[in-house]
């Protein structure tokens, strides 16, 4: 039996939501249909894509690897359907594109490479900058477009944004952490644990907002701008942390397992998207990039 696009869509929706029931609601289909599609996909591939937990599902290592392939496949099909977007006539232009650190390191690399291959006549001038600098340069006209954490966007009066992906924030723990035995984990539980705080791309500022709303505070024992350092520290049991699925990997550099759990309280997602100035016309190169990202991520273009 051949793998179908429907199976891939159901798999991606489940991976993004972390729960079959949530994926079913998002897709407007029955939960049993999603479950059957994923089981069939696992049988076809000969691997287990998800581990079932009391809190939902989480990707296995094989599932995380296949998710990248699934996104590429569905994006390529969407691009083929929207073939007029691939027309290169008149697109011998320059695209001044800005990105934040997290976007460059954990989201954009493969899409950037594919865009360059799809539109070789567009010269891309790429800059990695903090969020505030990106916003200032977009407004000033020094950048045509930015790929950034639009959930952190401040200047919404002058900057337009379009979300590409919503990444859930979950609790990261060592494989032998006692909290894994709890049916529900709340922020009050996390507040009793040593906490490793990520600081890059305003992560500390974002975390402060939902911690303040909860009435608790994390017991920070170490702060770092390195995601890999956080990964290693959590895996070795130094502390726990709350970070998005976009930067999650199940293993540290030392080969230690990192577990993830959803929290009882709602924690805001980390949203990646495009941003551009409201007062300036979008160039042909920027419009091509926007359309490319939209169809690649499964949007409408």
**Number of compact structural domains in the chain:** 3
Q: 181 and 261, same structural domain?
A: yes
251 occurs within a structural domain? yes
Of 63, 81, 99, the position where a domain reaches its end is 81
Burial of 239 from C-beta contacts in 10 A (0-12 / 13-18 / 19+) = buried
Distance (Å, rounded) from C-alpha 12 to C-alpha 121? 32
Sign of CA dihedral 230, 233, 238, 240: positive
Residues 177 and 257 in one domain: yes
Nearest to 258 by CA among 64, 16, 103, 17: 64
Burial class for 285, CB neighbours closer than 10 Å (0-12, 13-18, 19+): buried
pLDDT tens for each residue of the chain, 301 residues long: 578 888 898 899 898 888 888 888 777 788 888 899 999 999 999 999 998 877 788 888 888 889 888 888 877 776 665 555 455 444 568 999 999 999 998 888 878 888 888 888 899 999 999 999 999 999 999 999 999 999 999 999 999 999 888 888 999 999 999 999 998 999 999 999 999 999 999 999 999 999 999 999 999 999 999 999 999 999 999 999 999 988 988 889 899 999 999 898 889 989 999 999 999 999 999 998 998 888 777 544 3
Same structural domain for residues 146 and 287?
yes
Nearest alpha-carbon partner for 219 in 250, 197, 247, 235 = 197
155: in domain: yes
Q: Give yes or no for a contact between 258 and 174, defined as CB atoms under 8 angstroms apart.
A: yes
The per-residue pLDDT for 159 is: 98
- Tell me, what CATH number does 35's domain have? 1.10.10.10
Residues 177 and 213 in one domain: yes
133 and 9 in a single domain? The answer is: no
Q: Are residues 203 and 250 in the same domain?
A: yes
Q: Per the domain annotation, does 130 fall within a domain? A: yes
Say whether both 250 and 278 belong to one domain: no
Q: For the domain that residue 153 is a member of, what is the CATH number?
A: 3.40.190.10
DSSP conformation letters of 228-297: HHHHHHHHTTS-BEEEEGGG--SB-TTS-BEEEE--SS----EEEEEEEETTSPPPHHHHHHHHHHHHHT
Q: What range defines the domain where residue 72 resides?
A: 5-81
**Residues 161 and 179 placed together within one structural domain of the fold:** no
**Residue 127, SS3 per DSSP:** strand
Spatial distance between the Cα atoms of 231 and 249, rounded to a whole number of angstroms? 8
Are 108 and 99 in contact by the 8 Å Cβ rule? The answer is: yes
Give pLDDT, residue 82.
52
Of 52, 81, 110, which residue sits at a domain end?
Answer: 81
123 and 60 inside one domain: no
Q: Where is the domain boundary, 45, 61, 81?
A: 81
Q: 22 burial class (0-12, 13-18, 19+ CB within 10 angstroms)? A: middle
pLDDT value, residue 70 = 87
153 and 278, same domain (yes or no): yes
Please give the Cα distance from 75 to 222 (Å, whole number): 39
Residue 301 forms part of a structural domain: no
Given a contact cutoff of 8 angstroms between Cβ atoms, the answer to whether 286 and 95 are in contact is: yes
Q: Are residues 162 and 178 part of one domain?
A: no
Assess whether 263 and 228 both reside in one domain: yes
CA 132 remoteness from chain centre:
20
Question: Are 160 and 283 contacting, i.e. CB atoms less than 8 angstroms apart?
Answer: no
Does a structural domain hold residue 219? yes
């Amino acid at each position: 039996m051949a793998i179908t696009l429907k199976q891939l869509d159901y798999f991606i929706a489940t991976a993004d939501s972390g729960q079959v029931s949530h994926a079913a609601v998002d897709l407007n289909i029955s939960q049993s249909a999603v479950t059957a599609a994923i089981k069939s996909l696992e049988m076809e591939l000969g691997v287990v894509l998800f581990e079932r937990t009391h809190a939902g599902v989480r990707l296995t290592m094989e599932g995380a690897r296949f998710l990248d392939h699934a996104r590429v496949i569905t994006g390529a099909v969407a691009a083929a359907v929207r073939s007029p977007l691939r027309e290169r006539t008149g697109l011998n232009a320059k695209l001044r594109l800005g990105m934040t650190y997290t976007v460059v390191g954990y989201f954009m690399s493969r899409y950037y490479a594919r865009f360059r291959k799809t539109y070789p006549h567009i010269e891309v001038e790429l800059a990695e900058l903090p969020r505030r600098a990106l916003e200032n340069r977009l407004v000033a006209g020094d950048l045509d477009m930015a790929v950034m954490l639009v959930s952190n966007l401040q200047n919404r009066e002058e900057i337009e944004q379009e979300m590409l992906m919503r990444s859930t924030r979950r609790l990261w723990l060592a494989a032998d952490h006692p909290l894994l035995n709890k049916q529900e984990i709340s922020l009050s539980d996390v507040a009793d644990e040593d906490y490793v705080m990520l600081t890059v791309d305003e992560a500390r500022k974002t975390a402060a907002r939902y911690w303040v709303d909860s009435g608790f505070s994390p017991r920070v024992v170490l702060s770092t701008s390195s995601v890999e350092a956080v990964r290693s520290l959590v895996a070795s049991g130094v502390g726990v942390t709350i970070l998005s699925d976009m930067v999650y990997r199940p293993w540290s550099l030392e080969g230690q397992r990192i577990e993830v759990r959803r929290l009882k309280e709602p924690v805001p997602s980390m949203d990646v998207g495009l941003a551009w100035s409201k007062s300036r016309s979008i160039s042909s190169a920027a419009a091509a990039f926007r359309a490319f990202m939209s169809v690649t991520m499964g949007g409408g273009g």
